[in-house]
Structure formats: structure tokens, C-alpha cells
Amino acid sequence: MRLVAAAALLAGGCACADALAREVAGDKEIHAKAALIAKSARHRTRADRMAARALIAQGDAAYRAGRFDEAHSDYDNAVANAPSAYAYIMTGDAHWRAALASARPPAAAGEASTCRLQRLHFVDDLRLDLNQQYLIGLRLAQTTALAPLPGPALRARAKASAACFTRLAQDYEPLPPQTCVDPARIARCLGKPLVGAS
């Protein structure tokens, strides 16, 4: 459990969590983070870059097969080895596809649907991913030659997803913590998979 969430629960409610909720980072902050990442990436070894490429290939294979938790892990590990715009963007995308899959469990016959994803931590988690994956990846794609994205369509789709998720966080922020998050809205923000299905 995240420290902010734990502190909110210990303080006796969710109003505290709302007060501590993170915001989507501004352009200056994202630009500064991306510049530091790009600078550090220049010091990665050939072995680091090769490991990152292998992890991205594994992530792409898992993503195509619909194993989004595995893909998320592979992309995230690729970032740690040698950051790239693609790995950052795909880390965020795979994370929310995995969350969407877990939010839509197969319902047993005659069983009432349950709320698998509540607003309680959703807004903060969504903004965290925007700040740490989507927006960093998009800035890296715009400002560096670090393993450029495989075409402008992927960048445009990732940018559209980030904008949609930003609006989604704004829409859910004022709602009660126990509000169920509509999986269809997450699916609309994600759109079709960024990596083609096999």
C-alpha cells in the first residue's frame, strides 16, 4: 500500500487522501525530468542497451498475447536498463491494460457484478502513471534521439491516451472514494492496443 494511502486511512478517512492527491506535472517539471533521464541514458553501457532491447522484445510478445502484467514488468525493467520513450509509454499503457483486465473479472452466472476498481486510489495512481510514464515518454520522444518511437502514429495515440487519462482523473477526483471506476472509460482512453496482436 502506498504511504499516502496508508496515512490517509490512519488519519481516519479519505478526505486526507484527497488533500494529498498528486497533480499532473507541468511542462517544466516533465521537461526537467526528461532531460535528466536523457543525460543519464548516455552513460548506459552496450550491455545495458542490449538488455533493454531484449526486455522490450519480451514485453512486446507478452503484450501481443494479452499478458499485460508481464509486459508491464518487462517494459519497466527495460527503462531501468536503458530508458527510451517507447519503454516509458508502453510501461504506462501495459499497466492500465492489466488494471482493466483485473477490473473486468468473468462474472459467475447469477452473480451480481462487484466493483473491482474504486476511485479511492484511482486518481492518484493515474496521475502517478501520467507523471512517471506517459508524459516522460512523450517528452523523450519529442526531445531526444533515445530509441525513437516506431512511427508518429504510436506517439499520437499515446498523446491522446494521456490527454484522456488526464480528463478521467479530473472527472473522478470530486467523486466519493467508494465510487466504482467505469472500466469502459479506461478502455476508451487506452483505445486499441499500441502493439499489434499476433
Using one digit for the tens of pLDDT, what is the confidence trace for 23-51? 888 888 888 888 888 888 888 999 999 99
Tell me how far CA of residue 103 lies from CA of 37, 79, 96, 106, 186, in angstroms.
33, 26, 10, 10, 10
What's the predicted TM-score (pTM) here? 0.81
Q: What does the alpha-carbon distance between residue 87 and residue 75 come to, in Å, rounded to a whole number?
A: 5
- Convert the pLDDT of each residue in 46-97 to its tens digit: 999 999 999 999 999 999 999 999 999 999 999 999 999 999 999 999 999 9
